[in-house]
Amino acid sequence: AQTVTQSQPEMSVQEAETVTLSCTYDTSESDYYLFWYKQPPSRQMILVIRQEAYKQQNATENRFSVNFQKAAKSFSLKISDSQLGDAAMYFCAYRSPRPGTYKYIFGTGTRLKVLA
């Protein structure tokens, strides 16, 4: 069974600085999808970034980028130029691409605090 681990329950970053959130996962599949979701105090889950395992290039979305290390089964999220609005819970998630599979596995989350 697949598992997703986020070992940092809480992180802090100074406004305008860069922070990296860690995520590791365990799977025997060779192809899969990985996601980072943001959950602000409003509780709405918002997709931040997505990575397909077959793509070697790391995904980037504006100030958000990932460091995907397939062999190490690591999928970290880097937030550059941190803003106050980035303060939220961040969840890493895994999904298998197998036909008929629609099960996401989420990590336990990392709470990010942004200091003014």
Partner 1 sequence: NAGVTQTPKFQVLKTGQSMTLQCAQDMNHEYMSWYRQDPGMGLRLIHYSVGAGITDQGEVPNGYNVSRSTTEDFPLRLLSAAPSQTSVYFCASSRGIWTTQETQYFGPGTRLLVL
Distance (Å, whole) CA 65 – CA 79: 7
CA distance readout (Å), 108 to 3, 7, 9, 21: 11, 8, 8, 12
Task: State the minimum distance, in angstroms, from the CB of residue 92 to partner 1.
Answer: 9
Please identify, using beta-carbon distances, which residue of 28 and 42 lies nearer to partner 1. 42
Q: Are 33 and 97 in contact (CB under 8 A)?
A: yes
Q: Is 57 exposed, middle or buried (0-12, 13-18, 19+ CB in 10 A)?
A: exposed
With CB under 8 A, what is the number of residues at the site for partner 1?
A: 25
Task: State the minimum distance, in angstroms, from the CB of residue 47 to partner 1.
Answer: 5
Interface with partner 1 (CB under 8 A), residue from 52, 69, 83, 115: 52
User: In the range 75-114, which residues lie near partner 1 by CB under 8 A?
Assistant: 91, 93, 95, 97, 100-104, 106-109
Residues binding partner 1 (CB under 8 A): 4, 33, 35, 37, 42-47, 50, 52, 91, 93, 95, 97, 100-104, 106-109
